[in-house]
Amino acid sequence: MKSSTNKKHLLMGNEAAAEAAILAGCRHYYGYPITPQNELINHMAIRMPQVGGTFLQAESEIAAIYMAYGGAAAGARVMTSSSGPGISLMQEGISYLAGSELPCVIVNVQRGGPGLGDISPSQADYFQAVKGGGHGDYHNIVLAPASVQEIADLVYDAFDLADRYRNPVMLLGDAQLGQMMEPVEFRKTPRTHQTVKRWALTGAEGRARNIVKSFYPVKGELEVFNIRLQRKYRAVEQEEVRYEEVNTQGAEIILVAYGTCARICKEAIRRASGTGLQIGLLRPITLWPFPKEPLRRLAKKARAFCVVEMSAGQMVEDVRLAVLDRCPIHFYGRMGGGVPSSREILKKVLNILAPEGTLELEIPEIPTELGKGLYFSTIP
Amino acid sequence: MARVSIDVGLCKGCELCIPFCPHDSLTMSRHLNEHGLPTVYFKEDHPCSGCKYCAVMCPEAAIEIFN
Amino acid sequence: MQALYSAPKTLLRTPSHYCPGCGHGIAHRLLAEIIDEWGIRGKTIGLAPVGCSVLAYNYLDIDMCEAAHGRPPAIATGIKRVHPDNIVFTYQGDGDLAAIGMAEIVHTASRAENITVIFINNAVYGMTNGQLAPTTLLNQKTTTTPEGRDPLAHGYPIRICELLATLEGASFLARTSLSSPKNISQTKEALKKGFKTQIEKKGFSLIEVLSPCPVYWRMSPVESLKFIEEKMTQTFPLGVFKDWEKTVSAPGGQATEV
């Protein structure tokens, strides 16, 4: 299939990510099979040769990230993808990418962990993505889509951000987003030629040579380099924050969630409408840089925040750091592949508003309940 | 003469045992087991020399041979 | 009524998650038979890989450890150094052993580690949807080689037995298959020899077993046996590549004292 613009396609999140990368001019993909992102690599295996690009199933995720490193050093737009255990393997490579100032797009379709875990959705790789993951003082730019359409849009933008700042950009998805199917339109302009990078390795004909490295052994040089990196990160924090606010005007309780949890929070808000409960949502779209300003602004009027995550509580720490003691912060989470329901979130909100249990509410039933667990299989 | 015992609950109907029986005594039954899988069965009044080829081929260890 | 053949006790007879006709069931059963016959259930420790047989511990009633993808030989090394008199084996697929685990298997063999590796070669990645494996045959179609494996794009298949045979530390290397009762018998003999190598502290042993994957080969189970006999053995010939009992020049897998 061609990602022809102005046409709606029904695609899986994983497939949309692959198509959007091709639209953005990515012609080099390196990966390794791991559930729940196999559809991305399988799709690339078919599409990359069609557009004259390189597709390679590497011998491991470590090999894949270093193949991507090579492609990036050579000046190309490159992408790789994996999940939990594979992303852990890639951490050294990601640190090297940041330290060598190379652009690269990495998609993490999160699954339950730690260890081998399971293949259900999770958001427990937040710390790994946002706080470092690899060694040294660096940051990944981290984008968190919440729909297949947003996956398509953000993957495209990820390549621009990676090039603009010469930094790895990570897309943090999860098993649900990766494997669900939604209609998507590829609205952005197809990039057919590669952007020329002055610093890239192309052969030093007619110019001074370029070196791609992250090693600064001469005393003092590494500190100077790190100061420069940090200045770059301040610029990213200044310019690239993205977030969405839903129903925050006059809301008593502000939910803070990203990705799949944000979708479920939106449903909780919908179910609560007309009941008198004033609930809003702040959905970070960039997890790094984190939307601190809107949180501080909302903290002035809101009664409390409730952070909802599929983890033991990771993003909640960043919310606490941003808000400090301006406003109480609560947390609701499910771990190990568990997915919260809008009913559970509303119960938590009621509990926040009236911990003594004096507040009761008729929460209208959704006609079809999904039951206790959500199962995800790779085999269609 | 030997006898073949097939645990129908373990059989997945892969049919690997059928071509190796030297007496052509095994065939697919129309019966589906409790997991909805077709199973194999030993044909009525067919010989069994206890060669154990069927038991050796079976990936589910569903076949046992008795004297 | 006397039992001529009954299922081994070490095999936990519960409906398995393997596809109908999958070779894993046969390999598990052979291991269980050997463990029963030799009475070594209490001494054996197994390692499961990441792949279709990640749940091997649900079927073999022995101490078992899960490993990260490709790392069983390293973990087995750790276990064997603590328990040198136990029997430690790894059970790995072609992605686990020959892709991500290539460094581990080469070095574990080279160190003449007294472990036994059971290498199930079905030329494809089963668990994750049928992608290319290091042992996928040329022209074989997989989900990441939809037009067939082309050496220019995807490289050549890797022959592990031949590769490891260049290492002094490897003492017993054999390739067998599961495609007929005779071949299954030979596989069982090779597995026994592998365990014997370990018990007598003669060094590293590996048995590569050509195994069917009917679902991702897009064949019926019976057809997949033919594929092994007619196609796989062309690229992966059966045989013994290293045997400490038969060659005099091989140092028997013992590292020379310095």
Q: Compute the average pLDDT of residues C134-155.
A: 96
Q: Rounded to an integer, what distance in angstroms lies between the CA atom of residue A225 and that of residue A245?
A: 37
Res. C116: pLDDT tops 70: yes
Kindly state whether C223 is in contact with chain B, defined as any CB-CB distance less than 8 angstroms: no
Identify from C5, C30, C31, C35 which residue to disrupt to test chain B contact, counting B C-beta atoms within 10 A and taking the largest count: C5
CB atoms near residue A116 (< 10 Å): 16
Chain C residue numbers touching B37 (CB-CB < 8 A): 20
Kindly state whether C220 is in contact with chain B, defined as any CB-CB distance less than 8 angstroms: yes
Structure tokens, A117: 């875990």
**CA pseudo-torsion sign C29, C30, C35, C36:** positive
Distances in whole angstroms, Cα of residue A120 to Cα of each of A130, A311, A316, A335, C220: 21, 12, 21, 10, 31
Q: A305 has which bridge partners?
A: A254, A329
Chain C residue numbers touching B26 (CB-CB < 8 A): none
Taken as a whole, chain A contains a residue count of: 380
Q: Rounded to an integer, what distance in angstroms lies between the CA atom of residue A208 and that of residue A285?
A: 40
Q: Rounded to an integer, what distance in angstroms lies between the CA atom of residue C80 and that of residue C74?
A: 10
Amino acid A379: pLDDT: 29
What b/e readout covers C17-49, taking b as 16+ CB neighbours within 10 angstroms?
A: ebbbbbbbbbbbbbbbbbbbeeebbebbbbbbb
Nearest to A45 among C69, C102, C144 (CB): C144
Res. A112: pLDDT tops 90: yes
Higher pLDDT, A360 or A261: A261
Q: What is the pLDDT of residues A95-105, one digit of tens each?
A: 999 999 999 99
Kindly state whether C228 is in contact with chain B, defined as any CB-CB distance less than 8 angstroms: no
Average pLDDT over chain A, rounded to whole? 91
Nearest to C25 among B52, B59, B64 (CB): B59
Q: What is the pLDDT of residues C10-36, one digit of tens each?
A: 999 899 999 999 999 999 999 999 999
Q: A57 has which bridge partners?
A: A31
Angle in degrees, CA A79, A80, A81, rounded to 5:
135
Amino acid A360: pLDDT: 65
Residues 6 or more apart whose Cβ sits within 8 Å of residue C172: C193, C194, C197, C202, C203, C204, C205, C206, C240, C242, C243, C244, C253
- φ, ψ dihedrals at C175, nearest 5°: -120, 125
List of E strands, C122-230: 170-177, 204-210
Res. A359: pLDDT tops 50: yes
Nearest to C29 among B12, B13, B61 (CB): B61
Nearest to C70 among A34, A49, A60 (CB): A60
Chain C residue numbers touching A34 (CB-CB < 8 A): 128
Q: Rounded to an integer, what distance in angstroms lies between the CA atom of residue C178 and that of residue C183?
A: 6
Quote the minimal CA–CA distance from C116 to chain A in Å. 23
Q: What is the pLDDT of residues C54-99, one digit of tens each?
A: 999 999 999 999 999 999 999 999 999 999 999 999 999 999 999 9
CB atoms near residue A224 (< 10 Å): 11
Q: What band does A182 get if pLDDT is binned at 50, 70 and 90?
A: very high
Kindly state whether B28 is in contact with chain C, defined as any CB-CB distance less than 8 angstroms: no
What b/e readout covers A33-51, taking b as 16+ CB neighbours within 10 angstroms?
A: bbbbbbbbbbbbbebbeee
CB-based burial label for A79 (10 Å; 0-12, 13-18, 19+)? buried
Q: What is the pLDDT of residues A263-306, one digit of tens each?
A: 999 999 999 988 888 999 999 999 999 999 999 999 999 999 99
Amino acid A234: pLDDT: 98
Give how far the C-alpha of residue A177 lies from the chain's centroid of Cα atoms, to the nearest Å: 11
Q: Cβ C54–A57 below 8 Å, yes or no?
A: no
Place of tokens 């995550």: A309
Rounded to the nearest 10 degrees, how much is the dihedral formed by the CA atoms of A225, A226, A227, A231?
Answer: 100
Nearest-Å Rg of the Cα atoms of chain C is 17
Kindly state whether C182 is in contact with chain B, defined as any CB-CB distance less than 8 angstroms: no
Its ipTM equals 0.95
Angle in degrees, CA C102, A129, A321, rounded to 5:
155
**With contact defined as beta carbons under 8 Å apart, do A50 and C34 qualify?**
no
Nearest CA in chain A to C97: A59
Q: Rounded to an integer, what distance in angstroms lies between the CA atom of residue C36 and that of residue A172?
A: 48
Nearest CA in chain A to C215: A379
Nearest CA in chain B to C180: B57
Q: Cβ B19–C222 below 8 Å, yes or no?
A: yes
Pairing of the two strands A54-57 and A28-31: parallel
Q: Cβ C13–B61 below 8 Å, yes or no?
A: yes
Nearest to C19 by CA among A378, A118, B37: B37
Kindly state whether C152 is in contact with chain A, defined as any CB-CB distance less than 8 angstroms: no
Res. A370: pLDDT tops 50: no
Q: Cβ C144–A60 below 8 Å, yes or no?
A: no
Res. C255: pLDDT tops 50: no
Chain A residue numbers touching C158 (CB-CB < 8 A): none
Kindly state whether C186 is in contact with chain A, defined as any CB-CB distance less than 8 angstroms: no
Nearest CA in chain C to A58: C99
Q: Cβ C13–B14 below 8 Å, yes or no?
A: no
Nearest to C23 by CA among C209, C152, C157, C182: C209
Nearest to A311 by CA among A243, A371, A259, A348: A259
Chain C residue numbers touching A60 (CB-CB < 8 A): 69-70, 99-100
Question: In what order do the strands lie in the sheet containing C63-66?
Answer: C63-66, C44-48, C87-93, C116-121, C204-210, C170-177, C239-243
Q: Compute the average pLDDT of residues A346-375.
A: 64
Q: Cβ A85–C143 below 8 Å, yes or no?
A: no
Structure tokens, A266: 């939106």
**With contact defined as beta carbons under 8 Å apart, do C236 and C210 qualify?**
yes
pTM of the prediction? 0.88
Identify from A46, A54, A60, A66 which residue to disrupt to test chain C contact, counting C C-beta atoms within 10 A and taking the largest count: A60
Nearest to A44 by CA among A62, A32, A60, A35: A32
Amino acid A354: pLDDT: 84
Chain C residue numbers touching B63 (CB-CB < 8 A): 5
Kindly state whether C25 is in contact with chain B, defined as any CB-CB distance less than 8 angstroms: yes
Distances in whole angstroms, Cα of residue A328 to Cα of each of A42, A211, A298, C255: 46, 50, 12, 65
Nearest CA in chain C to B9: C15
Res. A154: pLDDT tops 60: yes
Interface of A with C (CB under 8 A): 32-35, 38, 41-42, 45-46, 49, 55, 57, 59-62, 85, 116, 378-379
Kindly state whether C160 is in contact with chain A, defined as any CB-CB distance less than 8 angstroms: no
Q: Rounded to an integer, what distance in angstroms lies between the CA atom of residue A357 and that of residue A108?
A: 40
Structure tokens, A377: 């299989």
Q: Cβ A85–C145 below 8 Å, yes or no?
A: no
Taken as a whole, chain B contains a residue count of: 67
